[in-house]
Amino acid sequence: MVMLLAFLLLLYYGAGNIHCSRVNYGNITDMLSLLDFKAATNDPTDALRSWNRSVHYCNRYPGRVAALQLPGKSLSGEITPSLGNLTFLKILDLSSNGFSGQLTPLNQLHELVILDLSTNSFQGIIPDSLTNCSNLKLLNLSSNGFSGQLTPLNQLRELVDLALRNNSFQGIIPDSLMNCSNLQVMDLSRNMLAGPIPTKIGSLYNLIGMDLSKNNLTGVIPPSIGNATHLQTLVLQENGLGGSIPDMFGKLSDMIGFSVGANSLSGRIPPSVFNLTSLQTLGLYANKLQGELPLDKCHPP
């Protein structure tokens, strides 16, 4: 899910390859970092052909590189550590390419707001150094081969959009991740996460959408999730969740989609589910739930 924040920042910095911040001095370190990145990158379509020493890397006005956007350019190779020297970088978007290897340390990118490496072939763990990118608001690592724990993310307190779907992350969803109180979108689907959904999930009061589907989660659906009163979509299907569906839906008046299919839920369907006038999608299949669906209360989309 693309956030409004990303859209506004892209409008500000433009949609080209390189854009620069309003700093009244240049820095040859940025130029050398970009040329090193170019030298290590396979570029079959010559997307980086114009990058050379004779063309100033900040072609709008002198300064430091603030945005590097190269989505869908058929680039491949491993990201060089020198990319971490672009210390004024706010947007790094290398999505929909063929980059591989482990994620290089980006511990000097303190200004980074958007990091989108989705739909590549990265592997390995999220480096602890990513916690130094403390201003990150959008982190999208979806559709790669990342693995390991989610623990390094618990210090990214400014996160608004977290998308890690379709990887191989393991372990539990750490309770400390619930301290990222600005989160509006959290997509951890299609991984290998296990253990319970944190009981403090309801402390994410700004949450709009959460997708934890297709993992190995167990335990119950925490009733505290009813405290996230702005929640519009909640997708928990294809896990090992048990117990009953908590009667917390009366608080979730903005709910549009709710799916808990293919779990081990039992008990009766809470009547409050059918009092949600905005609900368009309801997935309850392949459980052990009891009761009848009151079709007279079902509202068409």
Half-sphere exposure of 219 (CA within 13 A, CB side): 14
Residue 19 confidence (pLDDT): 56
Q: What is the pLDDT of residues 273-285, one digit of tens each?
A: 888 889 999 999 9
Q: State the average pLDDT over residues 116-137.
A: 94
> How many Å apart are CA 240 and CA 216, to the nearest integer?
6
Query: Alpha carbon 1 to chain centroid distance?
Result: 8
Residues pairing with 148 in the sheet: 169
Question: What sign for the dihedral angle of Cα 169, 181, 220, 187?
Answer: negative
pLDDT of residue 139: 97
Strands (E), 83-137: 91-93, 98-102, 114-116, 121-124
Query: Among positive and negative, which fits the CA dihedral 80, 81, 86, 89?
Result: positive
* pLDDT band per the 50, 70, 90 thresholds, residue 151: confident
- 297 confidence band (pLDDT: 50, 70, 90): low
**50/45: higher pLDDT:** 45
> What's the confidence (pLDDT) of residue 61?
36
Residue 301: pLDDT over 80? no
What does the alpha-carbon distance between residue 159 and residue 155 come to, in Å, rounded to a whole number? Answer: 9
Query: Which of the four pLDDT bands, split at 50, 70 and 90, describes residue 18?
Result: low
Mean per-residue pLDDT for 98-124? 95
Q: 74-91 burial by CB neighbour count: b if 16+ within 10 A, else e?
A: ebebebbebbbbbbbbbb
- Structural domains in the chain, sorted by start: 1-195 (3.80.10.10), 197-301 (3.80.10.10)
CA distance 181 to 235: 20
Could you tell me the pTM of the whole model? Answer: 0.89
Length of the chain, in residues: 301
Q: Which residue has the higher pLDDT, 227 or 52?
A: 227
Under the banding of pLDDT at 50, 70 and 90, the label for residue 106 is: confident
d(CA 94, CA 80): 13
Which distant-in-sequence residues (6+ apart) come within 8 Å of 179 by Cβ? Answer: 154, 157, 203
Give the C-alpha distances (Å, rounded to integers) separating 292 from 36, 272, 284, 296.
64, 14, 12, 11
Please report which confidence band the pLDDT of residue 59 belongs to, taking 50, 70 and 90 as the band edges: very low
Locus of tokens 């396979």: 42
- The secondary structure element, H or E, covering residue 11 is helix 4-13
Output 173 or 28, whichever has higher pLDDT. 173
Could you report the per-residue pLDDT of 175-219, keeping only the tens digit for each? 999 999 999 999 999 999 999 999 999 999 999 999 999 999 999
Least confident of 1-5, 7-11, 144-148, 259-263: 7-11
Contact 95, 116 (CB under 8 A): yes
| pLDDT for residue 152 | 82
Sign of the CA dihedral running 207, 212, 217, 223: positive
Burial classification of residue 208, based on how many CB atoms lie within 10 Å of its CB (0-12 exposed, 13-18 middle, 19 or more buried): buried
- Exposure of 108 by Cβ count < 10 A (0-12 exposed, 13-18 middle, 19+ buried)? middle
Lowest mean pLDDT among 82-86, 112-116, 207-211, 234-238: 82-86
Name which residue leads in pLDDT, 237 or 63: 237
d(CA 274, CA 256): 12
Report how far residue 170's alpha carbon sits from residue 151's, in angstroms, rounded to the nearest whole number: 11
